[in-house]
Structure 1
Amino acid sequence: MEEKDLKILAQNLCNPEGKKGIEIGEMMNATNIGMTLESIHAMAMEDNENILEIGHGNAAHVNSLLHVARNIKYIGIDISETMHHEARKLNAEFKDHAEFVLYEGDKLPFEDEVFDKIFTVNTVYFWKNPIGFLNEIYRVLKDNGTFVLAFGQKKFMEKLPFTAYHFKLYSNEDLEEVISQSQFKRMKISEKEEEIKSKTGEELIKRIYTVLTIKK
């Protein structure tokens, strides 16, 4: 894949746009589904909870999430207008339990202490102000709430050609340090491995990733 194509891929992984963005959204859902399901499991959802997902992509996984517990209220937010429309289209049958919100990416458009659980998969690389954004997540999370953050580890991600553009990569230690500077103080680290098709579509690769379960 040439440099210009890698740049287009990286930009669309950050903020999918248009027809190409829809294709990237489908690919992201396929390659990230393992991380997403692990994150949903780590939240330990219970009946009647309010769930927030940051960076929902095409949200083809929402059906699985809504069936984990009874009467779940899910809200997904994304900076991509393309993904916002795709998520609403793909989840039209769940409109009574799933809502999608377009936002700017810095401030969460919610009141304090709204959500029981919050999760995000493969978005931390694009946060402009990680400590400030973590404090925003802390603000909208209820007391005793759980925040789950899943990310590809730096030692794996830096081998991928497209991460040279738009990505800020983290090791476990890097993110522990960032989180320690936020209002969050307690976390559990779980390392995972899985085999996936590469986002350049060229081969199967072994992904090393981390699921952080962070408590308020």
Structure 2
Amino acid sequence: MEKNELKILAQHLANPQGEKGLEIGEMMHATNIGMTLESIKTLLIEDDEHILEIGHGNAGHVKSILNKAQNLHYTGIDISETMHHEAKRLNEKFKDQAAFVLYEGTKLPFRDKTFDKIFTVNTVYFWQQPVEYLNEVYRVLKDNGTFVLTFGQRDFMEKLPFTQFDFTLYNSDEMEETVSKSHFKRMKISEKEEEVKSKTGKDTITRNYTVLTIKK
């Protein structure tokens, strides 16, 4: 891919827009589904819980969440208007249990202690002020709640040609240090790897990623 194409891809990965954004949303769902399902599993979802996902993409995985327990409510939040509308379209039949919110990317538009479980996959690279953002997550999470933060490790991400454009990369230690500067007090690190198709559409690659389970 040419440099300009890579830059456009990076922009769509951060904030998918228009027809190209819909394509990128489908591709992200396919390449991220392993990380997403691992994150959902790590949440240990129970009956009657309210789940928040930050950066839901096309939200093709919502059914997997709602099948985890009884009487669940899911809220997805995203900065992409394209993904917001696509997620609502794809999950129309779950509209009694799933809501989608469009926001500006820094302040979570919810009351304090709203959610039992919160998770996010492959969004941390785009947080402008990560400690302040983590404190927003802390604010809307219930006292006994769980926050799962999942991201590709720096060593892996640096090999991807598009991450040179406006991605902030972390290894597990760097992310642990960042979380420790926030209000959160406890975390558990789990490092994983999986075989995935490259986002540039070429070979299968081994992705190393981290699942952080974070508590107040």
TM-score of the superposed pair, with normalisation by structure 1: 1.00
| Map of 1:42 onto structure 2 | 42
Aligned residue identity for 1:80: S
Distance 1:94 1:44 in 2: 21
| Map of 2:52 onto structure 1 | 52
| Map of 1:79 onto structure 2 | 79
| Map of 2:113 onto structure 1 | 113
Extract unaligned runs of 5+ from structure 2: none
| Map of 2:21 onto structure 1 | 21
Distance 1:149 1:176 in 2: 11
Q: Secondary structure of 1:183's partner?
A: coil
List aligned pairs for 1:1-216, cutoff 5 A.
1-216=1-216
Give the CA RMSD over aligned residues: 0.4
Cα displacement (A) at 1:70: 0.6
Q: Secondary structure of 1:159's partner?
A: coil
Structure 1 runs of 4+ aligned residues shifted over 3 Å read none
Aligned residue identity for 2:19: K
Distance 1:46 1:156 in 2: 33
Q: Secondary structure of 2:40's partner?
A: helix
Q: Secondary structure of 1:101's partner?
A: strand
Once the two structures are superposed, what CA deviation does each residue of 1:162-182 show, in whole Å capped at 9, x if it has no partner? 000010000111111110100
Q: Secondary structure of 1:77's partner?
A: strand
Cα displacement (A) at 1:23: 0.1
Cα displacement (A) at 1:139: 0.2
Cα displacement (A) at 1:185: 1.3
State the identity %. Answer: 71
Cα displacement (A) at 1:71: 0.7
Aligned residue identity for 1:92: E
Extract unaligned runs of 5+ from structure 1: none
Distance 2:185 2:160 in 1: 31
Q: Secondary structure of 2:5's partner?
A: helix
Distance 2:180 2:193 in 1: 25
Aligned residue identity for 1:39: S
Distance 2:9 2:69 in 1: 35
Distance 2:64 2:91 in 1: 11
TM-score of the superposed pair, with normalisation by structure 2: 1.00
Distance 1:138 1:158 in 2: 29
Distance 2:137 2:28 in 1: 23
Distance 1:171 1:193 in 2: 14
